[in-house]
Chain A
Amino acid sequence: MPTRWRNERLLVNTESNTTKVLLLLSAAFALLAVAFLGNLWGRSPASPKISLVDTNFLDKATARRSYADLIKAGEDLSDFDCYACHEKGKAPPLRFDTNQNLIIPKEHSDIVMHHGSHERNNNCFNCHDELNLELFQTRDKRELKLSNSAPLCGSCHGPTYRDWEAGVHGRTGGYWNRSLGEIDRKLCVNCHNPHSPKFPGRKPAPGPHPLRGGGAAVAHAEIKH
């Protein structure tokens, strides 16, 4: 028996290098296998919850509705019935304060006058016809219906009107190819409030979410510092 043990030990010694390397390799592979199967690293970061965008931001509606839109939609036009209150054929009086700002009568308190630099375009009858309130009058004495206000705007805003006629100022929709369908043009008053024409600001739609977690707020902070 002792001889056999000794023989064995001798042989193990001569083969010990191979055995060690093989066992070591096996152990390394086993560890790697555990690591891969358990997905110990390389785990994809938990994707941040991104809520669906509010459908209001997908809405193609214009900033405001024009008189023409209201007619088309068959809505209540009693607000535009001037002679329910005013007297026909008689120019309504305008009152100004000491700074030459128009005093808006309380019947028209929904109107905010803010047209022209230094609010100088504050005379109602620069645009409205004083003798027929259901019409507009341009500076060159043309009379226009309330639903046809674009030429009225154009009588002062010439270059913009020219661009608008070419489809370049303002919104378009529908077909770029006129032989395949109609172009959808919007009027000046679909975007601009004629009494206060500056295009209003609005809340922006949500910003981008970066690929690796955190969302816009974190990215924002990163940029700031």
Chain B
Amino acid sequence: MISILNEHFLIISALIILCFGIIYRFATYLNFPSISYAINTLTILALVSSLFIIGVDISIMSIQFNSIFIKDHTTVLVEIITILIGIGVIATTNRYNQKEKITHFEYIILLIFVLISIQLLITTEELFSFYLILEFQSICFYILASLKKNKYSIEASIKYFIIGSFASIILLLGFSFLYGVSGLTKFEDLSIFFMSNYNNSDISTLVTYGLVLTTIGLLFKVYMVPMHLWVSDIYANSPNSSLLIFATSSLLPFFFIVFKIYVHVLGEYEYIWKYLISITCIASIVIGTIGAMYQYSIKRLLAYSSIANTGYIFLAFLFYDSPFLLASGLLYLVLYTINTFGLISVITNIRFRDEQQQETTLENIYQLQGLYEHDNFVSAHLLVYFYAIAGLPPFSFFFSKIVVFTSLLYKTQFIWLIILMACLTVISVFYYVRIVQLMYFNKTQKHITVQTLPFAVRVVTVFIMLLNFTFVIMHTEITSVLQYVSLQLYL
């Protein structure tokens, strides 16, 4: 039981923090005190201790609840990364939340719930627990999107809610096809069933329906083309602190679980899903790259770039037969998560103040004009992040791009795809370099001042920037870990 102690601990600490918040936030005898500092401290304490709890059983592989949840080294790695993301989110969004009057302590509670759902999501080995946990996570995201309480934020939340539930229902329909064929829900049983009934044409037809419906539902959840149209609205209108959570934390566990479903369970039907996924990946790369060219809102730009990068990440499904090639996809995923985290946490904390002492956040890229003259630190960091996400050397993201290229080159039929991706990389460099040009080349129009970043954000961004620079030196360390993880995905 010790191996799911971590989840238990997080659930209990979330409930305790919730009780603490309810009791003290509405305490009339204390005149409704502001308890964000106390809540943040408590949460960071809880997360750090949960890191220790993970560290206790790092070498144990365990099977829980009648083999619905299975923990191994892969899940431990993802858990560690997500908890680090959680600590980073609390550290970097504090000032933004206070200035934008997102003082609800529910933000923190929802964050812990998201972390719990991620930890359960990657350990699950059963279709319906997967569906339920995914819904749990999605509901947290819907509420997080609406926290700013202006009409745009609520619009984003409702859009997210309607489209998300629509996608969930399609996903559930797909799962029910799989269940209806086999009467089974566990991944292991299902894979044995499909393996033994591979030649049965009735079953194959029904499974094909189920597979297509499942794919459509999952594409909604990871916003890949053609189910991507709504995502830029949600990125642009939800508060930055919530964006930081669902842009960075959702993709990592999702990749693992989708990989399990497709390769382990439906591995016999790879001739169907290989084409489905590769076509959507290529379409995502093309549309995400070209769509971002005309975006002047920085969050919409990020949305399109995330569409393109999701396409690159899910290209790893083409390498499902080789763990060492799969590691390239994982490297891309991890470095994308880290760089996006740094970028969004800097963007969140840039605040301009004009002559009337009006404070604004960063919305449009033209607000960045002449940032270099105001704050060398912020502009240097944004420079590194944008160049990194553009995939230019010597930053870390360049290496993830070349390992994807190399993996595709090992499969000789994809040479045209590499040429296409190389051309698109040049196109995508254009709009990232445009931002650098605005920061360094142009002069500021108005008299504004830029507030310095908070100390915690400085620490986080300097850390990520150092990682970006030193990845040339230490890439074997990280890739060997990821190769181990991808090997374990096959066991």
Task: Answer yes or no: do A and B interact.
Answer: no
B residues apposed to A, CB below 8 Å: none
* A interface list, Cβ under 8 A from B: none
